[in-house]
Structure 1
Amino acid sequence: MSRADRAAVTWSTAVDAVTVDDLSYTYPSSSGRGRAARPALDKASLTVRTGSITGLVGVNGAGKSTLFKALMGMIEPDTGDLSILGQAPQAARRAGLVGYVPQAEAIDDTFPLTVRDVVSTGRYGRLGTTRRLGRDDRLAVDAALEQVRLADLADRQIGRLSGGQRRRVFVARSLCQEAQVLLLDEPFAGVDRGSEALVVAVLRDLVARGGAVLLSTHDLVALPSLADHVVLVHHSVLASGTPDAVLTPENLARAFGGEDLR
């Protein structure tokens, strides 16, 4: 498949991208005895449509990162059902249907990994035990680097990048995976405006082809122009809908006003 053909790939929009139904999860207590007093998520339900960007909004500790971890199969919910494109999270992850960009990446800045090395890891799910890239894999890596405008830095050591460039590397890693659904946890934190605008353009291209994006953000000013839908969370889903319908003073006071919402 050529780079032009790859960019033209579209997906079916017949199935919802993400479905979460009555999800509850409580972390183990810090003492290691039993569970914490309060669930990180309590009967949370939401839907992310294909062909759309959905913004996840709430204070730190509201359960946003917990939701991403559950969707990636990194934690096992206490109760509730989750699906990605109609499949269980673990199955969707194995099939390469979902890509994830967490808040922080545990990469040693001094380790001799290049930008290309990091982006190439997005292809590992398609490779055999040798982890040897074939022609299609290399084309996918090149195309992803071009999309985030890092092709000229492909051989630069990852620790020598700015914060915005580094976030673009991890977005490129998900793109070269060719996932239909992207989950991004605070993708614009510490990112310059130029990098943010570039990432947004890449995400818009993805959803135009039938993909879907679920991202968390604290930027309420930019959210109406970024997201098609907004989900407001504080350990449960407080409101879900269009930005105008959700980002009302009353809803924001409930989410950010310091109330105990249990």
Structure 2
Amino acid sequence: MCNRENYLGRFTEDENKVLKELYSLHGSNWTTISDKMGRSCEAVKKRFNVMSEVYGPWSEAELKVLLTCLHQQLLKRAEPGGEGGDGSAVIQKMDLYKKLEWSRVAKQVQTRSWLHCKNKWMTYLMGKMKTGGKIHRRKSIEGQIQLIKAINEMAVEESGDIVWDDLTHLFGNTPPAYLQKKFYQLKVTYIPHVNRKSFRDIIDFLYEKTLPKLEKDLKGCKDAEDADEPAELRQSYKLSEIFPNL
């Protein structure tokens, strides 16, 4: 069943104050805080982490600590790839973003929350995984069309049930976070009052209203826009490709 508590819109200023007060009383007991606020556990947890973040651009020192910590974690998952030390070690694509110890990462970075660290890593990772291929307008529209169709065919009732790993091929070599970002952009770009709609209503709108528009836009794209060959889909990477400066 769809959890309506996930679709209550943005937190108000009063809710932010209540959240801080409840956290001071109950700590990270998100179930208790969720019950008292009428919001889902995931919603109150994410909101608190966002409120706790240090804003502004990352410094070089912060980024270096982040990458060093993640390099240490991923090195344990990688397989030897021949001579050349850990720079030649090979890691599977999903191991680059699945079940990483974000609490430990945030503790080492110190100045950022675990969610901020995760988002920064995903942005960094997108750039490294997409190396060698460009996503032109035509390819982008094709990916959006396939994304809408694929999610609609899944017939899921909540966004948490989407298996993003199964969809990463739609835009080439990208992590699931890239797909989630594209899905978010589709929602806020094409759906009016999106925060008032249930997940199923969102999918129905995208499929019935947005999809025909994108298909029309695709017909207007020139083939010349895709002159570059697409990047070869990959299932593994050398750590030296992901961490060239470590």
What TM-score, normalized to structure 1? Answer: 0.23
Q: Which structure has greater helix proportion?
A: 2
Higher Rg? 2
Task: Answer 1 or 2: which has greater strand percent.
Answer: 1
